[in-house]
A and B are shown apart, each in its own frame.
Chain A
C-alpha cells in the first residue's frame, strides 16, 4: 500500500456569523469527516453548494476563510498534525507542501504584474530555487500545460491571455514549488465547455507527469470522474459516500449519490412543428457607439407552446438575441413578429399586451428580485399591473401561483433573502407566469443552480408548459439542459446561427465543425471519456 500523504480524522469545522443587530449565530460547517489521500493520488470532493467541499479543501492547509475555525479532529499531513500548528509552521507549509488553484484565475492574478513573476513568486520566497531555476521550471510547466510559446508566455500580463490560459498559468503557479498536494477548487467551472476540456486535459496531464497528489473540488460529477482516483461525496458538511471513482460512477450505494449520477436524465420527446408564436427574421444588432455586429442575420422561429433552445459559448450573442426580442436593444435590421403582429423594436413602442405576453426569467434570481419586496409583492405586482387584481382576489391568485411552482402558501410573506437558490428561481418563474404570457425567455435560468435543484426547475418548466401552453426561448450553454427541454435548437457562434432545426436533426450527425466541437466537449459521466475525446481529436489533427 502506498504511503499516506494527507489524512483527515473526525474533522470538525465551525463558524460563527455575526449578522449586525442580531445575536451571533453558531454553525457547524463540517462534521466528522474522515478520509485520506495517498501520495500521487487524486481525491475528488463533490457536493452541492454548502456541502463544505471548499472548506474541507482549504483545511488541508489548515486554513479557514473569514471566521471559520477548525475545531476538532486531526489533519495529518506528511505524518504530523497541522490543525493547531503555529503561524510560522503554517507559513512554511503553505505554498510549499500544499498549494491552491482557485476557481477564478482572473480574480486571483494581480493585473499589474507579469504572469511569470507571479508564477515563480512562492518558489523564490520559500527559498526553494533561485530566480533562474524557478523561471526555467515555470517555462517547463507552461510547455507541459500546453500553453502557446512557453518561452515568452510569462512575459505577458494577465489581461493579455484568455481565461483558459490563465487558469492553466495558475496551475503552473501551484505546481512550480513541486508541492506534495495541490488543491483544485472548481478550476474549470467558470470556463466555457470547449475551453473546459482543454484545461481539464492539461491539468490531468500535469498531475500524471509531476506525480503530485490532489484534492479536486467540483460540483460536476462528470468532470471529477475524469481526473480522480477516489471520490468523496459530501452533503451538508457530512460524508455521504466514499469509494473509488469506478464504484461511485458505476455502482453508487447511497440514494443521494445515485441521484447525482443520474441527474439530467429527463426524457423529453420533441413536439411536431406548429405555427410560430415568435418569428425572428434577418435580425442584425449592434450596441450603441460600436460598429461591430453582435448578431448577424439571425433568423429563427418558435412554435406556440414549444421550446427553442439557443446554445452557444459566452460571446456568441445568445443573450443579445434575448435583449433584442425583449426590446431592450432595438435591432439595426430585421423584423420580429410575435403572436401574429409585428413587434416594435423599441420597448417604448410596445403595447401593454406585447409586454405582458412576453416575459423573462434571469440567470441570477438573486438580482432579479428586489430584496426589499416580499414574495407576495413580487408575484402580486404583475397581477395588479396587468389585470388590476386587488386585495383578496390578488392574494388568492398569488397563493395559486405558489402552489403551481410547488411552494407552499406560507412563503407569501417571506423576503428573497429567506429563500434558497432554487426557491428564488421558482418565485421568478411565478412572477413570469402571473402575467399569463405566451412566451417566456429563459436566460441561463439553471446555470447558477446545483444539478439536482436545476433538474427540479427544468421539470417544473416542462410541467408548466404542458399546463399553460407557454413557449420558451431557452438560452443556455449546457447541452444536457438542451437535450432535456428543447423541441428546436439554434446553435450560435460569433453572432450567427450555425445550425438550426428540430432537436433530433440538430443532434444527429453529420455535424458542422463547431457543433461537433461543442457536443464532443460536454463531459460524460463515464471513466476514460476525456482520454477518448483527446485521442480522437489528435487522430483528426494527424489525419488532416
Chain B
C-alpha cells in the first residue's frame, strides 16, 4: 500500500520527536543545567539554536524539555483514554442510574474551566511528575468519557450487541470485544487531538510556574524563562514554541492517516 505524503511526513517528524525524547541523554550536546556560552547568543556552529537567559544551550534544553513534555503528555492522555473510554462504554452499555451519576459528575467537572481546577489542585498538592500526570489525565478523561459514551451509544443499539446480550455475555466482553473494535477509529483520531491538548496544558502550567519544576524543564517553562528576550529581539523564546507547533502538526498528520486507514480496514464501517 502506498502511503500518502502527509502520512510519511507525519510519521517521520513524530518518530524523530520520539527518538529525541527517548535518547535525549545521548543526543544533547550540552548539559541541561550548566551555562555553556554567553547570555542570549544567536544561533552559531557551537550553539545551533543559540543560548538562553543564563547562557545554557537551547538545543540541548529543547531535547531534554521535549523528553519531559512528551512523556507527561503521553502518560496523561493514556490515563485519560483508559479511564474515560472504559467508563464511557460502561455508561452506554449499563444505562440507567449508573450512567446518570457518571454523566452528571462529568458535567460538574466540565462546567469549571480545567485550567483553574488544575491550578487550585496543584497549588495544594506537592508538585511532582506523578501528581501532574494524574491531574491532567483525570481532567482530560471527562472529555474522552463524553466522546466514547456518544460513540458507544450508537454501537450499543446494534443488533450484534443485542445478540451478545441474548447469548448471556458479560459486560466486559461486550465492552472490549463488541464495542471497542468498532469505536477505535474516532478514539484514535481523538487521541491525537488530546495528546496535543495535554502538551499545551503542561506548557501552560509550566509557563505559569505550576508545572515542571527546575532543574528539569519543559517547552512551556523554556518559553517563560526566555520571554523577556523577545523585547530585545532575541529568538530564544520562539524555539520551544515552534517545537510545540511542529509536534502538534506531525502527531495529527499521523492520527489522520490512522483514521482513514482503520475505517477502511476489511469490515470497517465504510469510508
Contacts and interface: CB of A to CB of B under 8 A. Distances in A.
Interface of A: 18-22, 326-328, 347, 350, 352, 355-356, 359-360, 362, 364, 367-373, 381-382, 385, 415-418, 431, 435
B128 interface: no
B261 A20 contact: yes
A369 B178 CA distance: 10
Contacts of B167: 355, 381-382, 385, 435
Contacts of B159: 362, 364, 367-368
A370 B166 contact: no
Contacts of A373: 177, 181, 267
30 contacts: A19-B264, A20-B260, A21-B1, A21-B260, A21-B264, A326-B166, A327-B166, A328-B165, A347-B166, A355-B168, A356-B168, A360-B166, A362-B159, A367-B159, A368-B160, A369-B160, A370-B177, A371-B182, A371-B268, A371-B269, A373-B181, A373-B267, A381-B167, A382-B167, A415-B266, A415-B267, A416-B267, A417-B266, A417-B268, A435-B167
Contact of B182 (A20, A368, A372, A417): A372
B163 interface: yes
B228 interface: no
Contacts of B107: none
A435 B164 CA distance: 13
B179 to A, nearest CB: 9
B168 A372 contact: no
Interface string B256-271: 0000110111111101
A92 to B, nearest CB: 34
Interface in B215-271: 260-261, 263-269, 271
B266 A368 contact: no
The residue in A18, A417, A435 that gathers the most chain B C-beta atoms within 10 A of its C-beta is A417
Interface of B: 1, 158-160, 162-163, 165-169, 177-178, 181-182, 260-261, 263-269, 271
A355 B163 CA distance: 11
B123 to A, nearest CB: 45
Contacts of B158: 367
A362 B168 CA distance: 17
Contacts of A371: 182, 267-269
Given A20-B260, A415-B266, A370 B168 contact: no
A416 B166 CA distance: 20
Nearest to A378: B160
Contacts of B264: 19-22
Nearest to A415: B267
A359 B163 CA distance: 9
Contacts of B266: 415, 417-418
Contacts of B162: 328
A433 to B, nearest CB: 13
Contacts of A417: 266-268
Nearest to B155: A370
Contacts of B263: 20
Contacts of A20: 260-261, 263-264, 271
A100 B199 CA distance: 55
Contacts of B163: 360, 362, 368, 431
Nearest to B168: A355
A347 B165 contact: yes
Given A347-B165, A347-B166, A381-B167, A370 B160 contact: yes
Nearest to A418: B266
Nearest to B178: A370
A359 B166 CA distance: 8
A347 B160 CA distance: 16
A381 B1 CA distance: 32
A431 to B, nearest CB: 8
B169 A385 contact: yes
B169 to A, nearest CB: 7
A360 B263 CA distance: 29
Nearest to B160: A370
A21 B160 CA distance: 27
Contacts of A368: 159-160, 163
B168 A352 contact: yes
Contacts of A435: 167
Contacts of A326: 166
Contacts of B168: 350, 352, 355-356, 385
Given A369-B160, A370-B181, A372-B181, 10 more contacts: A19-B264, A21-B261, A326-B166, A347-B166, A367-B159, A367-B160, A368-B163, A373-B177, A385-B167, A417-B268
4 closest A-B pairs (Cβ-Cβ)?
A: A415-B267, A372-B181, A368-B159, A20-B264
Contacts of A372: 181-182, 265, 267
Contacts of B177: 370, 373
A225 to B, nearest CB: 34
Contacts of B169: 385
A326 B165 CA distance: 10
A367 B164 CA distance: 12
A370 B162 CA distance: 11
A418 B265 CA distance: 11
B174 to A, nearest CB: 10
A184 B62 CA distance: 68
Contacts of B182: 370-372
The residue in B163, B260, B264, B267 that gathers the most chain A C-beta atoms within 10 A of its C-beta is B163
B166 A355 contact: yes
Contact of A19 (B178, B269, B271): B271
